[in-house]
Structure 1
Amino acid sequence: MAEKAPYGSWISPIGAADVAAAGGGAQWLDVVDGQAWWAQARPAEGGRLALVRADGREMLPAPWNARNRVHEYGGRPWLVIGRSLYFTHWDDQRVYLRDLDSGTISPITPEPDKPQGVRYGDLRPGPRGEVWAVRETSTGPRRTDIRRDLVAFAEGEIRSLAASHHFLTAPQLSPDGRHAAWLGWNHPSMPWDETELCVAEVTADGAFGPHRVLAGGPGVSVCQLEWDSPGTLLVAMDPDGWWNLYRVTLDGQAVNLAPVDQELGGALWKIGTRWFAPLGEGRHAVIASGRLAVLDENDGTLSRLAPRVTQWHTTFCVHDGAVFGIGAGPEQESAVLRVDPHTGSVTTLGEMPAVPPAGYLPVPVERVFTGPDGERIPAYVYPPANPGFRGEQGAPPPYLVHVHGGPTGRNYPVLDLSFAYFTSRGIGVVAVDYGGSTGYGRRYRERLRENWGVVDVADCVTVARALVAEGTADPDRLAIRGGSAGGFTSAAAMTGQRVFRAGTVKYPILDLAGWTGDGGETHDFESRYLDGLVGPLPETRQRYADRSPLSHASELAGPVLFLQGLDDQICPPEQADRFVEALRGKGIPYAYLTFEGEQHGFRKAETMIAALEAELSFYGQVFGFATPGVPTLDLKS
């Protein structure tokens, strides 16, 4: 019989170390010589990205780290041509070649004058054994002093091919070798706002002729391209408000292959991301709002595959008629999978991630809440789950409102051990897809335009109040948590509302004016992001001050926990430092934990463990329940 105990104090077999071990996961998958290869995050090795293949062999041993800093979020970091493995190495950002026969590793690109001052990403095959890539060069002391171009390298020679835009994806060579195509965009647009599909002739000496724009432009986002034939391309773009799959000819004619009010694309945070792959005979594997499907252009249909897998990562490929990708579901964290598109059968490749017993895992419930203006707000509710305990009768559990990053991210109904860490202790979690989230079309995404800090906060408040009204959540024990853009929303809610009694703010944006190109406290890729999210400067400067959590630090509705990586170039620690300094001596409880060697998001096992245990202790102290087995967080005021 389940023991009655206060919510939050339940004993759980899911420890922070279990969450950290599961926090690795596969990335950047492709098939080489019939076998799936992928980059594997190793939290126990300082967050290193190893390169492994399905038979368990490690293709890139320690200390090599297949990761790069292009756009700071990184791009496709590895490529195999013949018996040569090309990869970008995190420590110096150079491209290296590993001979797959001898195992020797040698640098391909020169050592930059400034450490990590030249970066490469989105590696692609070019003609005559060349590798094509995006090159990012630091040109000055500021984070925004960046120049980019498209380059080719082979046998120690690097050639610049084009620099059509300030931001670029690597070129892709047409099947006949006569053309190259890529995506480009300029400030102040982000790639989900508008991009251009460019094509240029490739001359006999391998140079590019002048480029032409085939698709995209004002109000249209192209997020992926693949050559279909020497004269046509397949592209994911959203001229009608939804990312759909189009065929585009070299004279710019575009045809939607299956018009649907679904997203067959997404936000291009990392160059080299894929949402579709041709299967042949007019059929295409696509990721439709996170789910795998087959688009058949012959009859304009979209058919789901592997329905129990509710999230496919946007790195997948087709080989020998099968789909290879990385997927997760409500009962299983992400794993490398092979799907037969004819039978729908799913095979797990590599080692299957271990999961706790099912009774300790929350089953996500898909919900839609209604805002005051009638807007539908999707969310996923993860209720407390532990077979050994039950809460006290008549006392609803505490709830955490989880705010995803981006803010163009989104949530999926999948097993998340970081959520289960809390739910198995009697703390519910609700993950909100607030206005601005992807997966619901451009109109929903643009609800946030010039309304960041307003719509996102209001949607999270709406969901929290609805859970309280129906008796699901305790109104006196509501918390909000998030990182990056989610950290901003969490801090904005804590300083502008009186709904949440506690907040966890991870690697956040707290001073909007500072988080711009002029402010100098963010990187080039997002340095004009706030033009769309808040408003153009200088016309809306007062809005930046009014919506900055830093401007209202003394108005916190309750205690706050800050978690910050000290090497973060996207949301640098200066912002959290200033907020915490403003709290000193004000009588408002807070804690501020910083982590050496961590960038944007935590990758080291020891950091993940310390951060999660601190968060649990924080809620226990604020909400009044015991948290056995974790160190007591030191709250200051």
Structure 2
Amino acid sequence: MGVVFAHAEDQRLYLWERDAGEPVPLTPEPHTEAGLRYADFSLSSDGRSVLCVREEHGRARASGTDGGPGAQAPVGAPAGDEQTAGDHGTAVEAADTVAAAGAVSPVDTVGPADTVGPADTVGPVGGTEPVAVEPAGTDGAATAPVPDAPHRGRSGRGGDIRRSIVAVPLSGRGAQDPSVIRELASGADFYASPTESPDGGHLAYVRWNHPRMPWDGTELRVAPSQGTEYTLKGGVDESVLSPLWVNDSTLYLASDWPGWWNLYQAGLKGQAIALYPAEEEFHAPPWRLGHRSFQVLSSGLVVALHGLADMTPSLYDPETLDLTPIATDLTSWSQLDSDGESVVAIAASPTTPPCLVRLDPATGSIEVLRTSDLPGAGGDAGTADDAAPFRIPVPQAQTLPGRYGAPVHVNVYPPEGSGPAPFVIHAHGGPVSHSTKEYDLVKAYFTSRGIGVADVNYGGSTGYGRSYRKRIHKEWGVVDVEDAIGVARSLVDQGLADPDRLAVRGPSAGGLTALMALTADTFACGVSYYGVADLLGLAESTHDFESRFLDSLVGTLPGFTERYRERSPINRIDEIDVPVLLLQGTADPVVTPDQARTMAAALGERGVPHALVEFEGEGHGFRSAEARIRALETELAFYARVFDTDFGLGVRPLTLSTAPPERPRAAEPEPGPDAAPTQAGSLSANGSAGTEEALEREHQSG
């Protein structure tokens, strides 16, 4: 028994067996740092290899894996790795090996980034691109792989990237001899979910190509051990995800063909059959590799997560066609995995921090394996410090009227206190992502100080079906902005929000929404966390996974150049007259620092009050505890300055400038224990820890 994992530091695969003193490398050391990356693991049918997606960068191309141009090893062929009983990782031991789901997270992405980072990170924003999947052909006919095809498209940093599906021997021979690592599929821009049938006769996987994103269109491909591979389901307008074998000739999968990601059953030929048609999602948006939302048990029953933005588990019986909810107080579930008898997942609720749980489908019992030691964990009250008690807010889900009466989904966190209150409208990153109702100390940080928060799942968000998701197609910077403004006005009409104390905030893609919303007359101020200010600049500098994302969000270049300019906040400065706070990392490779600097300079030229606070060494999403805490404190100080109140905590307002900055302002080091607070006061160890973790989750989602 052992675990296969990808190590963040060098991106190599390792096997750590239970009684071994240290892990053993399975893949070769690349010629360039982190030049070979692996993710989305599954065990081969014979238990001797791990199947995964490999991403090769530039000169780090793997050698000796293709046996010539376009060559492919047949499924079920010998691994080229003759194991003996004395080898490290014998066939018996390998058969019992558990391949860890190495999720590649969209850590350095414009979108969830709530979309890729080190392969062993749990969480959409920091230096590695998402290894994902897309189809090369979508006409349903068999297509031959294109050998050594780098990604095809416009990208400032995409460069020479090649992805494939490979079989890595568990014996460890691949670490010294790359030729024993078999390449099973190649030629498409992206791959995901490789899985081999129990008899080893067929390989199933998902693929897609630029300019599509995996929620736009993917192909489920099947490669028989004898014969030509073919497309079983999917295409340019159908997103197929997470195939799982039920037996040697039957797959379960998720498809949004009916407008929602529903579960389907497919044979090796013919039409797929819907298992439980419903207007709800049975799969999370595919921002990360290795994340599944359903699992097949050895009994044949299926544990499936389903719902809207927040999903909960149910047990599906393919014999009776019944879907039975599993009773639980945890309301936001994700990342399902199983050993065939029980399932494990990450789960949370508005008052329970994310925790690792084990679910016994037979009894419905849920065991918490690991939880967070955060304020309010397990309850609805916590303490930030001895002087400032606070309550974990429980959101109110509302559907409010947006553009032309279209519904807009929002989670409203009322502040403590009464009467019309200052409100912050939050626009999540993505933009094709969503916010959930799970435990969030960032919300508590504001609501406990009398500031309400409305978390808007604007048009384009996931979790509400394909048509809602496609509302933002070619309309980014319009639909999302109108929805944010519509929510703010609705809260005013309800008497919850003070019309003179409305703010809008957002990270990354949500930063563009926030800045564009300031061109209207609704908000008194706005906050951008490493937000997009220049769409043309983003198109040139972003990473490969999202290098053609803007084609669907805005339009193809160069034909829609003027639209890119029109939707860029940097070109709408003349319409912004309210204070702006820009928070930016100096090492951001996605939304580069020049965007925030140019924005600050332009605001200063017009005499608009603003502050640009840079965080040295931070990327797209602040990583250090110091940066995350200081950013939040700076934001609160900004609201105190604009709304002319200290929110009862003696916060000293942030100084705003009305002139172009001589140079970017760097965040100051954390003051010592005896130093007076310089911006928004200080947090105790309890408050800091909770805020750090909540901020990290927020930044990883956009």
Bucket of the pairwise TM-score, normalised by the shorter protein: 0.7 to 0.9
Q: 1:322 aligns with which of 315, 323, 342?
A: 342
Matched, 1:400 2:421: no
- For residues 62-92 of structure 1, give each alpha carbon's deviation from its aligned partner in whole angstroms, at most 9, with x where no partner exists: xxxxxxxxxxxxxxxxxxxx33x33222233
SS at match of 1:482: strand
Equivalent residue number for residue 158 of structure 2: 144
Correspondence 1:600-619 to 2 at 5 A: 600-619=620-639
- 1:592 deviation in Å? 2.1
2-structure distance, mates of 1:142, 1:409: 23
Q: Which of structure 1's runs of 4+ aligned residues deviate more than 4 A?
A: 629-632
Deviates more, 1:617-626 or 1:194-203: 194-203
Equivalent residue number for residue 257 of structure 2: 239
Equivalent residue number for residue 26 of structure 2: 108
Contact 2:403 2:479 in 1 (8 A): no
Equivalent residue number for residue 567 of structure 2: 547
- For residues 275-298 of structure 1, give each alpha carbon's deviation from its aligned partner in whole angstroms, at most 9, with x where no partner exists: 111135553111113222223333
Correspondence 1:144-543 to 2 at 5 A: 144-145=158-159, 146-154=161-169, 155=173, 156=175, 157=178, 158-202=181-225, 210-289=228-307, 290-313=311-334, 315-319=335-339, 321-356=341-376, 358=381, 360-385=391-416, 390=417, 396-494=420-518, 496-516=519-539, 520-543=540-563
Contact 2:336 2:344 in 1 (8 A): yes
2-structure distance, mates of 1:103, 1:417: 39
> Which ranges in structure 2 are unaligned for 5 or more consecutive residues?
60-154, 382-389, 659-702
Deviates more, 1:180-189 or 1:291-300: 291-300
> Which ranges in structure 1 are unaligned for 5 or more consecutive residues?
1-81, 204-208
**CA distance 1:112–1:259, shift in 2 (3 Å):** same
- 1:379 deviation in Å? 0.9
1-structure distance, mates of 2:200, 2:546: 34
- 1:619 deviation in Å? 0.8
Q: State the AA in 2 paired with 1:130.
A: S
Equivalent residue number for residue 3 of structure 1: none
SS at match of 2:497: coil
Contact 2:156 2:542 in 1 (8 A): no
Contact 1:567 1:598 in 2 (8 A): yes
* TM score, norm. by length of structure 1: 0.80
SS at match of 2:432: coil
1-structure distance, mates of 2:556, 2:430: 19
- For residues 408-445 of structure 1, give each alpha carbon's deviation from its aligned partner in whole angstroms, at most 9, with x where no partner exists: 21222232111001001110001111111111111111
**CA distance 1:319–1:89, shift in 2 (3 Å):** closer
**CA distance 1:577–1:137, shift in 2 (3 Å):** farther
SS at match of 2:453: strand
Q: State the AA in 2 paired with 1:447.
A: R
- 1:128 deviation in Å? 5.0
- For residues 138-162 of structure 1, give each alpha carbon's deviation from its aligned partner in whole angstroms, at most 9, with x where no partner exists: 2389411122122222322333222
1-structure distance, mates of 2:48, 2:299: 29
**CA distance 1:581–1:306, shift in 2 (3 Å):** farther
Equivalent residue number for residue 94 of structure 1: 12
SS at match of 2:541: coil
Of all paired residues, the percent bearing the same amino acid is: 43
2-structure distance, mates of 1:572, 1:118: 25
Equivalent residue number for residue 574 of structure 1: 594
Contact 1:435 1:447 in 2 (8 A): yes
- For residues 109-156 of structure 1, give each alpha carbon's deviation from its aligned partner in whole angstroms, at most 9, with x where no partner exists: 333333333322223223452222222222389411122122222322
2-structure distance, mates of 1:87, 1:338: 21
- 1:621 deviation in Å? 0.8
- 1:636 deviation in Å? 2.5
Deviates more, 1:131-140 or 1:428-437: 131-140
Contact 2:156 2:541 in 1 (8 A): no
- 1:181 deviation in Å? 1.1
SS at match of 1:513: helix
Contact 1:379 1:430 in 2 (8 A): yes
2-structure distance, mates of 1:240, 1:270: 23
SS at match of 1:476: strand
2-structure distance, mates of 1:98, 1:532: 42
SS at match of 1:474: strand
Equivalent residue number for residue 64 of structure 1: none
Q: State the AA in 1 paired with 2:410.
A: A
SS at match of 2:42: strand
**CA distance 1:618–1:239, shift in 2 (3 Å):** same
2-structure distance, mates of 1:629, 1:227: 60
Equivalent residue number for residue 30 of structure 1: none
Q: State the AA in 2 paired with 1:522.
A: T
Q: State the AA in 2 paired with 1:457.
A: V
2-structure distance, mates of 1:510, 1:265: 32
**CA distance 1:602–1:124, shift in 2 (3 Å):** farther
2-structure distance, mates of 1:600, 1:93: 20
Contact 1:89 1:96 in 2 (8 A): yes
Q: State the AA in 2 paired with 1:100.
A: R
SS at match of 1:465: helix
**CA distance 1:92–1:594, shift in 2 (3 Å):** farther
1-structure distance, mates of 2:392, 2:187: 49
1-structure distance, mates of 2:346, 2:589: 28
1-structure distance, mates of 2:557, 2:320: 48
Contact 1:509 1:515 in 2 (8 A): yes
* TM score, norm. by length of structure 2: 0.73
**CA distance 1:563–1:211, shift in 2 (3 Å):** farther
Contact 1:130 1:152 in 2 (8 A): yes
1-structure distance, mates of 2:192, 2:611: 40
- 1:371 deviation in Å? 2.2
- 1:250 deviation in Å? 0.9
SS at match of 1:468: helix
SS at match of 1:169: strand
Contact 1:215 1:252 in 2 (8 A): no
- For residues 569-627 of structure 1, give each alpha carbon's deviation from its aligned partner in whole angstroms, at most 9, with x where no partner exists: 33333322332232334322222223344333233222211111111111111111116
2-structure distance, mates of 1:458, 1:476: 19
SS at match of 1:188: coil
Q: Higher strand share goes to which structure?
A: 1
* Matched residues, number: 538
Q: State the AA in 2 paired with 1:397.
A: A
1-structure distance, mates of 2:611, 2:403: 34
- For residues 388-423 of structure 1, give each alpha carbon's deviation from its aligned partner in whole angstroms, at most 9, with x where no partner exists: xx45xxx52100111111122122223211100100
